[in-house]
Amino acid sequence: MLDANEGPTETQFEFITFSAGNQSFCLEIMQIREIRRWTPVTKLPHTPDDVLGVMNLRGAVIPIFDLSARFGLGVTPDNERNVVIVAAANGTTIGLLVESVSEILSVAKSSIQETPDMKSDAARQAILGVISVGDSMVRVVNLDAVLDQEGGAAA
C-alpha cells in the first residue's frame, strides 16, 4: 500500500483513473475487483444522498455510492458511460458509481505527491495524494476513508 515511510524503492504502482464530478481520480488497481455497467439498484431508506442503494454481486449484497456526491461534487448525471467500480478493502466490498473510466496509470512511488494543503478536511481525508499526468492532476482515492464515512451504527 501507499506508506509514507517506505524505503526509496522505485516500485511501480498501477492505478485505474476515472472521472467523477468533472475531476479525475484514481484507485490502486489492487483494490479494484471489477468494473461493471450501471444497473438499477435497490434503494435504501433513511440513507444519505450519496448512498444510491444496494446491488447483487454474485450473491453478496454490496452498497453503491455515488463517488461524486460523496466528495460533495454533486450528483453524477445519468450517462451511457457511467460505470460502477467494485472495490474491496478490509473485507468490505463496495461499489462506486463514476462518470467514466479512462486508463491504467503506472507510476513510481516517488511521483505521488502529498495532497496540497486545503481547507476542506473531508476532501483531504478522502485523498491519499496526487499524481501529475501531463498537464492534469489525478487524485488518489483513499478507499478506507470512503468506507469509514459510511455512518450508521455498526453494532
Partner 1 sequence: MSRNSIRDTFFEECEELLEALVEGLSSMEQDPDDMDVVNAVFRAVHSIKGGAGAFALDRLVSFAHTFETVMDKVRSQELKVTEPLMHLFHRSGDQLADLVEAARDEREPNAESEAAILKELDGYLGEADKDESFSFDAVTLDFGAAPVEIAEDGDADGEEAALRSFHIRFKPSPALYANGHEPLLLFDALAELGELRATADLSGLPEFDAFDPNGAVLAWTLRLETSEPETVLHEIFEFVESLCELDIREHDGLKPSPLAPPPDLPGLAPPPAPLDFDEPAAASDAAELRADAQRGEARGPRPTLRVDLERVDRLINTVGELIINQAMISQRIEELELPAVAHLTNELEAYKLLARDIQEGVMAIRAQPVKPLFQRMSRIVREAAEATGKKARLVTVGDSTEVDKTVIERLADPLTHMVRNAVDHGLEKSDVRAAAGKEAIGTIRLSASHRSGSVFIEIGDDGAGLNRARILEKAIEKGLVLPEAELSESEIDNLLFLPGFSTASEVSNLSGRGVGMDVVKNAVAALGGRVSIASSPGAGTTFTIVLPLTLAVMDGFVISVADQTMVIPIASIIETIRPSQRDLHAVGTKGVVILVRGAYVPVVDVAFNLGLASARKEAGEGVLLLVSTESQGLTALRVEAIHDQRQVVIKSLESNYAAIPGVSAATILGDGKIALILDPEEVVKLQPAAPYFPAITPPKLELHHA
| Interaction site with partner 1 (CB under 8 A) | 40-47, 51, 54-56, 59-63, 92-94, 150-155
Closest to partner 1 by CB, 67 or 131: 67
Q: Taking the complex as a whole, how short is the minimal distance between the CB of residue 75 and partner 1, in angstroms?
A: 18
Judged by beta carbon, residue 35 or residue 133, the one nearer partner 1 is: 35
Q: How far is the CB of 94 from partner 1 (least distance, A)?
A: 6
Q: Which of 43, 48, 91 is nearest to 72 (CA)?
A: 48
SS3 label, residue 86: strand
Closer by beta carbon to partner 1, 48 or else 129: 48
Residue 43: all three cell numbers together = 434503494
Q: Give the nearer residue to partner 1 in terms of CB position, either 7 or 59.
A: 59
Nearer to partner 1, 33 or 124 (CB): 33
Please, are residues 141 and 127 in contact by the beta-carbon 8 Å criterion? Answer: yes
Per-residue cell: 3: 506508506
Give me the DSSP letters along 17-34: EEEETTEEEEEEGGGEEE
Grid cell, residue 111, equals 511521483
Of 10, 15, 8, 16, the closest CA to residue 100 belongs to 16
Min separation Cβ 63 and partner 1, Å = 4
Euclidean distance between CA atoms 26 and 114, whole angstroms: 15
